[in-house]
Amino acid sequence: MTSAVHCSTGRLAASILVCYWLGGLISLSYAARFSASRQRLEVQKHLNRLNKPAVKSIQSPDGDIIDCVHMSKQPAFDHPFLRDHKIQMRPSYPPEGLFDENKVSAKQKERTNPVRQLWHQYGKCPEGTIPVRRTKEDDVLRASSVKRYGKKKHRTVPVPRSADPDLINQNGHQHAIAYVEGGKYFGAKATINVWEPRIQRQNEFSLSQIWILGGSFGEDLNSIEAGWQVSPDLYGDNNTRLFTYWTSDAYQATGCYNLLCSGFIQINSEIAMGASISPVSGYRNSQYDISILIWKDPKEGHWWMQFGNDYVLGYWPSFLFSYLADSASMIEWGGEVVNSESDGHHTATQMGSGHFPEEGFSKSSYFRNIQVVDSSNNLKAPKGLGTFTEQSNCYDVQTGNNDDWGHYFYYGGPGKNPNCP
């Protein structure tokens, strides 16, 4: 149905112009309503694809709804190559030589605590299902487009080998990381303390993660990532959340956060990707941390993820990748923020605890018990651990080594401060 404005031909020229103007407004209004209607339809179709039928739903105290979805109905199996995939219920060979937490001193154990997810307060998912954070209409509408929902912007991986600060900073992402390169890596592990950094703007985020990287830093980059993040744009709040990510083409068309596209196959019924984790560490107070292990199964070739000591979450099938189908060429651990300020100004978005590494335990953020998986499926201490940050007066990193923590580093910072204007 179209709208029209009828004007008398006997009116003055000015009146005719007004009529044309009114007609144009009505046409624009109709076009806007049609566009909004089409967008709602597109969003609803996307929600129907993402939100699978639930066996049971659990209301989390933070407002999330966790749907318990039958394992065989999860989003992974929307992938055409996974239609007839037989789920691997356990890895063939877990890595050997895990850092022995029993060696950690009693005093050190008292200083750190494990975390849980908020939704656990109100129930759990039955065996044979997986917990999936329900996507809401507002979540999708916050994205730049339905197509880009759940995806990172291009080229967000730190490039420590580049010495050109203009090239490094052009995408607005800043990092404070430790890394190894120059070998073949088959996985990585670390224990990370969890914070709730302050985010200045809705379109910024702060995260702490492990990167498993293969290929060049061009458009063929393969990456598997996992850690914790605060991202108002993605989740609609400032909660600290467990997340994963993968891409096989430098964040262009493939991959996504958590289970927001087909790819990662989850087998665990207790941990929900993208769900809030609680409690978090406090400045000069109790410290809470999470352990993440990602490794390549020597038999099947899939990349597995373990959360803590007890939860094997699932795997990324090897066919998703080109370079990572063989091995990784670089491992990175550390923090990343988005700086959306322009004209040389810096965001006040915090990385980690929002405090610099030199402040140390209970004040700064850390990665401890850093290890890599070698070609024999053994966890080893990393050799040649380097560090990198674009602006150390905004966010910094300092490494160390001791009997309790193995290889570790403190990292992070406040962003905007007198030395980082």
Active site residue ranges: 225, 336
Cβ contacts of 103 within 8 Å, gap of 6 or more: 403, 404
User: Contact, 257 vs 135, CB < 8 A?
Assistant: no
CB 190 within 8 A of CB 206: no
Upstream peptide bond of 75 is cis (omega within 30 degrees of 0) = no
Length reported for the chain: 421
Three-state secondary structure readout of the chain: CCCCCCCCCCCCHHHHHHHHHHHHHHHHHHHHHHHHHHHHHHHHHHHHHHCCCEEEEEECCCCCEEEEEEHHHCHHHHCHHHCCCCCCCCCCCCCECCCCHHHCCHHHHHHEECCEEHHHHHCCCCCCEEEEECCCHHHHHCCCCCCCCCCCCCCCCCCCCCCCHHHHHCCCEEEEEEEEEEEEECEEEEEEECCCCCCCCCCCCEEEEEEEEECCCCCCCEEEEEEEEECHHHHCCCCCEEEEEEECCCCCCCCCECCCCCCCEECCCCCCCCCEEECCCCCCCCEEEEEEEEEECCCCCCEEEEECCCEEEEEECHHHCCHHHCCEEEEEEEEEEECCCCCCCCCCCCECCCCCHHHCCCCCEEEEEEEEECCCCEEECCCCCEEEECCCCCCEEEEEEECCCEEEEEEEECCCECCEC
Q: Calculate ∠ Cα 275-145-256, nearest 5°.
A: 40
> How far is CA 190 from its chain centroid?
16
List residues bridging with 202 in a β-sheet.
Answer: none
